[in-house]
Amino acid sequence: MIETIDKNAFYGLSNLKRILLYENKIKNIEVGTFSNLMNLEILFLNSNQIQCVQHDLFSDLAKLTILSLYDNQLDTLPRGLFTNNKNLETLHLASNEWNCDCKMRWLIEYFEEYKDRQGSSRSLEASGAKCSPKSSRLIGGGNDPIELSDLSPPQLKCARGAERIYSQCEKICPNGCTCDASTKTVDCKETGLYRVPEDLPVYTEKLILSGNQIKEMPGWISKFPIVELDLSQNQIGIKEEFDFSQIHF
């Protein structure tokens, strides 16, 4: 019934080789939870409720050989997640709703690099992980599920502008702005902006851009669920092709 893991739960256990936390109710894991576990070889986090994995969560696990994220609530993984896991041999990712778009292309490239290193056709992902039904249709698979290990990098694409939409797991905020996930507000008032910042949090509903030098609104802004937009005291000019009706005010 474990729901949370204290960030210091494994502090000092540098000889630890196996951590089995499957079939609990863990939703999030803080960066640093597995710090300095340089001898860890097996990590089972399957059958939990994990929604997000930060890009450096496993960075200290140089000897990790088996990682199971099977049966969670993940839909994407951050680029470079396994950069330091040179000994990884088996990865279980099935029973997640993978969004197979351009942001997962790096993972398919990583799978291909693994095959090249091993000099065989053995797949690193050994659980038959599949794209969500919606993703399968978008990449030409119809309603038939497509396994991640069967994909090639060019198949994973994003709709125009969608590559700018960050995952809810990515804790980002434009430079100089303040972001509040609880109120879904991004405040960039009087920050010297000449254009709308591209690195907006995915939750952005209230966007304050007043007191800047913004001259135009880009079309990709309609991809965000914005209901309140403050553009006062700018040098705004609306492009003819930009349709404000796409924004759900």
pLDDT given for residue 238 in this prediction: 55
pLDDT given for residue 123 in this prediction: 87
Tokens found for residue 207: 């966007």
Q: Three-state SS for 28? A: coil
pLDDT given for residue 185 in this prediction: 94
pLDDT given for residue 173 in this prediction: 87
pLDDT given for residue 1 in this prediction: 95
pLDDT given for residue 172 in this prediction: 76
Provide the whole-model pTM: 0.71
Q: Three-state SS for 18? A: strand
- Is the distance from CB of 130 to CB of 98 less than 8 angstroms? yes
pLDDT given for residue 59 in this prediction: 92
CA atoms in the 13 A half-sphere facing the CB of 242:
15
CATH 3.80.10.10 residue ranges for the chain: 1-158, 163-249
Place of tokens 């279980």: 92
Domain 1-158 has CATH 3.80.10.10: yes
What sign results for the dihedral spanned by CA atoms 121, 122, 128, 132? negative
**CATH number for the domain formed by residue range(s) 163-249:** 3.80.10.10
Give the Cα separation of 206 and 227 in Å (integer).
6
Helices vs. strands in the chain: H and E counts, helices first? 2, 8
Closest by CA position to 174, among listed 147, 148, 209: 209
- Is the distance from CB of 213 to CB of 194 less than 8 angstroms? yes
CA dist list (Å): 42 to 24, 47, 85, 134, 158: 17, 16, 12, 32, 34
CA dist list (Å): 145 to 98, 124, 142, 154: 11, 19, 8, 18
Consecutive 10-residue runs of the chain (249 residues): their mean pLDDT?
Answer: 91 95 93 92 97 89 97 92 94 94 91 84 90 77 80 82 61 87 91 91 90 90 88 76 53
